[in-house]
Structure 1
Amino acid sequence: MNKGLKKIIFNKNLPILLLIGVLLWAMYLLTIAMQSAEQFNRLYLWLVGAALLAVFVLLLIIIQRIVWLYLRRRQNAAGSQLTTRMVLMFTGLSLPPVIIVYMFANLLVNRYIDSWFDVKTDEAFRDAITLGQIFLDTQTLAHLNTGKDLAEQLADIDPLNQSIYLDRLLDTTKATSLSIYNANGRLIGSSDLDPLNLPQQVMPTSAYNEASNNRNYARVESAGDEGLQIRVAVPISSRQSISVGSHRLLQALFPIPEEYEGLTINIETQYHQYNKQTFQRQQLKSTFLIILTIVLLLSVLLAILRAFSSARKLAAPIRLLSEATEAIAQGNFSKIIPVDSKDELGMLVQSFNSMSAQIATSSALAHRAQSEAENQRTYLEKVMSHLSSGVISIDHDLRVRLSNEAALKILHLEAINITNQNIDYLAMKNATLAPLVSLIKQKVDDQTNYWQQEVLIAEDSLRRVLLVRGSQISEKEIEGGGHVIVFDDQTIINQAQRDAAWSEVARRLAHEVKNPLTPIQLSAERMHLKFTGKLSKEEDEILNRATQTIVSQVAHLKTLVNAFSDYAKPPELKKELGGLNQIIQEIVDLYALSQPSIQFKLELSEPEPQLLLDQGRIKQLLTNLIKNAQESADNVIITISTRRTDNALLLTIKDNGHGFNADIMEHIFEPYKTTKPGGSGLGLAIVKKIVEEHGGTITAGNHEHGAIITIYLPIA
């Protein structure tokens, strides 16, 4: 099928166009029908009904479109409000001229119809008819007188000769037929110009009755195809004595001239037509009013339909532009609007398509740049997340722009989001960070390009040392500029350095002290053996006390040297998979038998996790801690508890003693740090070393009723 024909057939406006065509055709037929009364009476109702039905269908179509437009406005559809305004505007522009034309047309039609029935016209018709009637009356009277004259001439004519005499009289008069009837109405003589026109010769009953009663009869009547004629019937009065039954009647037929006859008939016809139209005057006005109203409705409805069509056509590019704009706002840059016209709207659509293509290109470039920046940011965040150093980036307003996990962990702010917060927010969440915050603010105010300084953070019983480094970033390097703060927890490093130093000291002390101890002990024992019994009793007692003191002190020094050796170079670990609760129970049972004065409270978790432990070293750890707790009070109560965390076992040992001295808290795990008389200060140092050998961590502090040691051991 041809594409053009297919487009016409499937055009959604085709039914409306056909309906309009039917309506116009009905109006045309109605106009033609008004020219003929017969056609008008036959087609009027059908044509008006068809026109009104078409108008009703058009009205339904318009209502459907109004409802459609209302629903689109309720849905805030693109272009609906503009379409509404344009429909109202077009409708408002079209209604006034249509209504004005309707009013003037109705006025002119009424005046035109009224002009048909003007009083002068009616008088002219009446005068013409009266004139024609006077003419006919004059002719009738003249022919009646002629008939009377003929009757007088025939009065004395012998009935046997009257036919011959009638022929003579017919030739001398304008009559077309002369006939004589007896008293019984029987034709007894006649003379005719047209002998075949017998129906016209027969005397009508009315004429016979008039003439037989001695009254004259004269009437104008139709002569069939011959036109009009005047029939005259008069009695023939005989002056001679004639027998009864000789009473006769004369009938004469006189034709009316054709020129007068045509004028008379035409006047009568026009007069009857005029009377008929006068009778239909109001009907004509109503009919024309209906036609004009239908035309008005048709014009208004067509104007509204055209307004809808034009508004939709004009608003379509704007609606498409609105939809495309929303699509672009949602990130869809592939929306292309078809260009259906070459006017300003078409140019606008072309410009929009060009802009959309440029935006798509720019968006792709921006997306690519953003993706690269995001990749770099992700890479930077991953790098920072693997750094052991804490990193914080702040702007010139001291607001945190970036931080890594290590920073939050070092600052003990793991569960807090510090991004976009002022640097003072750190001190608000953790008061111990006030020295760090103060240092950062001071360096930022001083506009120092690069600086480095240690900060002491005091947290209850724990003191940490942070090595803080700062660098200023110019606005050329990054938009807005700012500062980068990098810090490390030097506490462990410093402790490791001190531990290494003490290990070296312990190793040298053990080496230097251990070598002469045995000769000293042997020399003292020999002196005791050699001089015992050879001196006086008093001197012997002095010697005995001196040698015993030397031997006991040497033994004590050997114990101390062995402790130094263990601290400096611990024995090789023999780790085995097992539980900590059983080891704790064994140590507690041992102390319960040997030192029943110690009261233990055990809070051991069940089921216990499995750990890789060197049982000998762990027992040494527990023994040292219990010994420290035992020495802290007379009636000591030691609470030992275990609890599983995410990936570690938490071991807590508490006592009810006096707690740790605040002066040594910073160096509590270092050798020779003790407040006990005669203490070596190696107990907690060895405990810390054992914990580190097992990959754990240890902290010491005070609680409300004594000291507390907290140990984390990794779960296997």
Structure 2
Amino acid sequence: MTKVARWGWVITLVTLTGVAGVLAFVLTVGNTPERGFFERHYHWLYWVNVAVAAVLTLVILTAAVRLVVRVRRGRFGSRLLLKLAGIFALVGVVPGVMIYAVSYQFVNRSIETWFDVRLASALEAGLNLGRGTLDAMVADLGTKTRDAADQLADGSMPQLLALERVRDKLGARTVALVGGRGQILLESGGDTSQLTPDRPSETMLSRARGGAPASQLEGLEDEAAALQNGARIRALALLPNTELRLGLGERYLMVVQRVPASMLSNALAVQTANSEYQQRSLERVGLRRMYLGTLTLVLILAVFGALLLAVTLGNQLARPLLMLADGVRQVAQGDLSVRPVLASRDELGGLTRSFADMTGQLADARAQVSRTVAELDAARTHLQTILDNLTAGVLVFDPEGLIETVNPGATRILRLPLSAYVGRPLADVPGLRDFAASLTQRFEQHLGPDPAERDMDRELWQESFELQLDPKQDPLTLLVRGAPLPYGARLLVFDDISEVVSAQRSAAWSEVARRLAHEIKNPLTPIQLSAERMQHKLEAKLEGTDQAMLVRSVATIVNQVQAMKQLVNEFRDYARLPSAQLKPLDLNALVLEVLSLYAEAQEKGRLATQLAPGLPCIKGDASQLRQVIHNLVQNALDAVHERADGRVVVRSSLSVTEAGAPRSVRLHIVDNGPGFAEKVLKRAFEPYVTTKTKGTGLGLAVVKKIADEHGARIALRNLHPASDAGSPPDDGAEQPVIGAQVSLSFSNLAPVTEPGAASAKT
């Protein structure tokens, strides 16, 4: 039950209680009204009715206005409430008006019948008759008293006996002889309940003193006392003085006679009826208004009750529908929280419970779907994380052959913006048209229409491809694996095996060098000795041009043999590089030791050092690192040999962590020469790859091999003006080369307190 409905019921109960109390009070008092009751209390009774009617009317108007506002706002259920209110109001008003009309006529006619003219005349006649009878009895008793006083005045018998005789004759209750001041001189009979008899009033004494008898009716002032004690007639007559004696004074004869009880009760009944009739006659208008006002109040209360019942029942009927409508709206908005239900056991309550159960099931289903989606998102995120961190390239094609998924590894390997071509075929990517055609052909071969041509041995196929994406760079060697996916999709995974091929090539060259050193070195010494022996034996025997030709030929043989020996020694060093013996050493001291061999270049300003002080010791093989430094410095000096301003700088630095702890020691050899060719940068560490007109190309290969033995990283790069100045390069134009840099980074640092560290710094 809503708050408005509860207040409506409270107001109704209070009003009904008040009206019932007022009606009960009016009806109870109206049966035996106090004299002048309606005249005294009409106004406040009238205003009580008006106040109650005003309160009920205000409540009805307020409810009607609220209902109209709800209808205009289009609130769900307002029209149903309006219809129910109209029906119940019609049911309450029409019978109420009919009952009001009948009651109005009944009250008017009933009240008028109470005040009929004949009844009023009969009551007036009865009252006059009673008064006449009592007046006649009073006058008759006065006359008899005067006669008895005249007879008593002759004094023929004793006064007491005379009084007794008069009492018997008149049938009076009391006969007394009264003095001139009203004192009782002698009494016969009387009221035994009183010690002293009643004395006559001064008025009666005055009237009797004039000679006429005085009589009056007593005991009718209080009707209740008259009915209980009765009424009496008192007569007083002057007793004539016949003895002519002075000093006796005036004497009176007083007779008191009771009024018959039947006559007294009838007279009092007539008097009371007449008094009530006159009182009701005076209150007739107020009484009529009171009853009519009460009927009006009852009619308004009936209408109020009907409207309140309509609103209450309408709310009871519309509340489940409103709850369902609100729940449907919230469900449509995606809110599947717990819905309220009605506690009633009717169909509407069951409907709300069913809707709440359905909403709960939807909430559970959505939660399950959310969990499933979250799991799928987590799995997708996990898969995407794996794809993003894979070094291999991954491409997924949809059934139409369009790119669907690209991981960063594919972009990194191919060095092409593949993500920009998602939703397009691979052939649209510049430089990959032939590669895309080869892939399509390989997939068709793997899943071709002819079963005889299908590769049914494996679910995926694997093949290597060589791509020439940039003419200035070496071609890429890709190991490609393809597999079909459900619904016609295709998966492509590829790796850049260029370095693997280069490593295999280096291993092959190592094997070739080992065999060449073994097969060629042995005959070189006999050849040189034989040539020198021939020169020693024949030089003295020949003259002129023959001798010169012999000397020249032997010199040529010896020089070539020496060159062959140097080549064989380099092959031997590359193929049989001994394992590094790692010991703590000071890199700066080692650099200075090696650079002491290049004193002339340092004096000319072509070689300089920028060594960071206080570097921690590294773990390394001093003899091998000397060879590395020597090779790198010599290569740099050879690169700037033809430049007048050629300069080589050897730098050392320390890389630290965020906490300030040493992380690695770095060595940089920087020159301002022509730099490395683009095709050399990719394969600079392979044997026999060099830019020199003379040389075997094994120098950087040996350096790379020694760096790998020390766990160090080596990197080559060309220096450009924009990148060297710290500004981003211009992608629209090719940047000129202003030099080259070779970097070695040693992360295998020796502990500070390690024994032998000081001796290794020499």
TM over 0.5: yes
C-alpha spacing 1:394/1:329, structure 2 compared with 1 (3 Å): farther
C-alpha spacing 1:186/1:513, structure 2 compared with 1 (3 Å): closer
1:680 and 2:690 aligned: no
Cα deviation digits, residues 314-352 of structure 1 (max 9, x gap): 899999999x999x989x9xx999996543466457647
Deviates more, 1:642-651 or 1:360-369: 360-369
Paired residues of 2:605 and 2:647 also in contact (CA < 8 A): yes
1:639 and 2:649 aligned: yes
Instruction: Give the drift of 1:684.
Output: 2.8
Deviates more, 1:354-363 or 1:561-570: 354-363
Letter in 2 for 1:528: Q
Match among 736, 741, 746 for residue 708 of structure 1? 741
| Partners of 1:577 and 1:409 in 2: CA distance | 38
Letter in 2 for 1:343: D
Letter in 2 for 1:572: S
Instruction: Give the drift of 1:488.
Output: 0.6
| Partners of 2:440 and 2:526 in 1: CA distance | 65
Match among 259, 266, 271 for residue 255 of structure 1? 259
| Partners of 2:150 and 2:379 in 1: CA distance | 154
Instruction: Give the drift of 1:523.
Output: 1.4
C-alpha spacing 1:191/1:679, structure 2 compared with 1 (3 Å): same
C-alpha spacing 1:356/1:640, structure 2 compared with 1 (3 Å): farther
Note the residue ranges of structure 1 that are not aligned, 5 or more in a row: 1-16, 49-54, 56-81, 428-432, 476-480
Cα deviation digits, residues 96-131 of structure 1 (max 9, x gap): 899989x99999999999999879749899767754
Paired residues of 2:77 and 2:322 also in contact (CA < 8 A): no
Q: Tell me what 2:673 maps to.
A: 657
| Partners of 1:411 and 1:219 in 2: CA distance | 149
Q: Tell me what 1:206 maps to.
A: 203
Please, what is the CA RMSD of the aligned residues?
6.5
Match among 565, 583, 606 for residue 599 of structure 1? 606
Match among 463, 469, 486 for residue 474 of structure 1? 486
Aligned-pair identity in percent equals 26
C-alpha spacing 1:576/1:593, structure 2 compared with 1 (3 Å): farther
Q: Which has the higher contact order (CA 8 A, sep 6+)?
A: 2
Q: Tell me what 2:392 maps to.
A: 389
Match among 503, 515, 520 for residue 510 of structure 2? 503
1:524-563 aligned at under 5 Å gives the runs 524-563=531-570
1:690 and 2:690 aligned: no
1:628 and 2:628 aligned: no
| Partners of 1:545 and 1:583 in 2: CA distance | 43
**Secondary structure of 2:607's match?**
strand
Deviates more, 1:592-601 or 1:485-494: 592-601
C-alpha spacing 1:318/1:412, structure 2 compared with 1 (3 Å): same
Deviates more, 1:211-220 or 1:631-640: 211-220
Q: Tell me what 1:157 maps to.
A: 151
1:10-29 aligned at under 5 Å gives the runs none
Paired residues of 2:619 and 2:748 also in contact (CA < 8 A): yes
1:371-450 aligned at under 5 Å gives the runs 389-393=392-396, 401=405, 403=407, 410=413, 423=421, 435=431
Letter in 2 for 1:466: L
| Partners of 1:645 and 1:186 in 2: CA distance | 148
Q: Tell me what 1:485 maps to.
A: 492
| Partners of 2:136 and 2:256 in 1: CA distance | 12
1:587 and 2:594 aligned: yes
Instruction: Give the drift of 1:263.
Output: 1.1
1:454 and 2:431 aligned: no
Instruction: Give the drift of 1:581.
Output: 3.3
1:518-529 aligned at under 5 Å gives the runs 518-529=525-536
Deviates more, 1:162-171 or 1:552-561: 162-171
Q: Tell me what 1:231 maps to.
A: 233
Instruction: Give the drift of 1:227.
Output: 5.2
Letter in 1 for 2:393: G
**Secondary structure of 1:203's match?**
coil
Paired residues of 2:524 and 2:561 also in contact (CA < 8 A): yes
| Partners of 1:456 and 1:443 in 2: CA distance | 16
Q: Tell me what 2:346 maps to.
A: 343
Instruction: Give the drift of 1:189.
Output: 6.5
C-alpha spacing 1:155/1:599, structure 2 compared with 1 (3 Å): same
**Secondary structure of 2:494's match?**
strand
C-alpha spacing 1:505/1:466, structure 2 compared with 1 (3 Å): same
**Secondary structure of 1:631's match?**
helix
Instruction: Give the drift of 1:615.
Output: 2.5
Q: Tell me what 1:430 maps to.
A: none
| Partners of 2:206 and 2:76 in 1: CA distance | 88
Cα deviation digits, residues 55-105 of structure 1 (max 9, x gap): 9xxxxxxxxxxxxxxxxxxxxxxxxxx9999xx99999999899989x999
Letter in 1 for 2:596: D
Instruction: Give the drift of 1:282.
Output: 13
C-alpha spacing 1:181/1:616, structure 2 compared with 1 (3 Å): same
| Partners of 1:393 and 1:511 in 2: CA distance | 52
Q: Tell me what 1:567 maps to.
A: 574
Q: Tell me what 1:134 maps to.
A: 128
Note the residue ranges of structure 2 that are not aligned, 5 or more in a row: 1-8, 46-51, 53-74, 221-225, 448-460, 658-662, 721-737, 750-762
Paired residues of 1:458 and 1:464 also in contact (CA < 8 A): no
Letter in 1 for 2:688: Y
C-alpha spacing 1:360/1:637, structure 2 compared with 1 (3 Å): same
Paired residues of 1:435 and 1:457 also in contact (CA < 8 A): yes
Paired residues of 1:170 and 1:191 also in contact (CA < 8 A): yes
**Secondary structure of 1:157's match?**
helix
| Partners of 2:462 and 2:346 in 1: CA distance | 69
Cα deviation digits, residues 252-295 of structure 1 (max 9, x gap): 5351514423413533674697599899989999x989x999x9
Cα deviation digits, residues 535-563 of structure 1 (max 9, x gap): 22554344333322321221122111211
Provide the TM-score with structure 2 as the length reference: 0.62
C-alpha spacing 1:18/1:681, structure 2 compared with 1 (3 Å): closer
Instruction: Give the drift of 1:492.
Output: 0.3
1:219 and 2:216 aligned: yes
| Partners of 1:375 and 1:684 in 2: CA distance | 47
Q: Tell me what 1:671 maps to.
A: 687
Cα deviation digits, residues 662-715 of structure 1 (max 9, x gap): 465554444334443333333333333333444445444432312333445553
1:147 and 2:141 aligned: yes
Paired residues of 2:191 and 2:197 also in contact (CA < 8 A): no
Paired residues of 2:236 and 2:253 also in contact (CA < 8 A): yes
1:276-291 aligned at under 5 Å gives the runs none
Paired residues of 2:397 and 2:404 also in contact (CA < 8 A): yes
C-alpha spacing 1:99/1:337, structure 2 compared with 1 (3 Å): closer
**Matched residue pairs, number?**
641
**Secondary structure of 1:154's match?**
helix
Paired residues of 2:609 and 2:651 also in contact (CA < 8 A): yes
C-alpha spacing 1:145/1:382, structure 2 compared with 1 (3 Å): closer
Letter in 2 for 1:638: V
**Secondary structure of 2:603's match?**
coil
Paired residues of 1:455 and 1:465 also in contact (CA < 8 A): yes
Paired residues of 1:640 and 1:654 also in contact (CA < 8 A): yes
| Partners of 1:100 and 1:18 in 2: CA distance | 22
Paired residues of 2:513 and 2:574 also in contact (CA < 8 A): yes
Paired residues of 1:400 and 1:422 also in contact (CA < 8 A): no
Cα deviation digits, residues 231-261 of structure 1 (max 9, x gap): 3535458697966756645545351514423
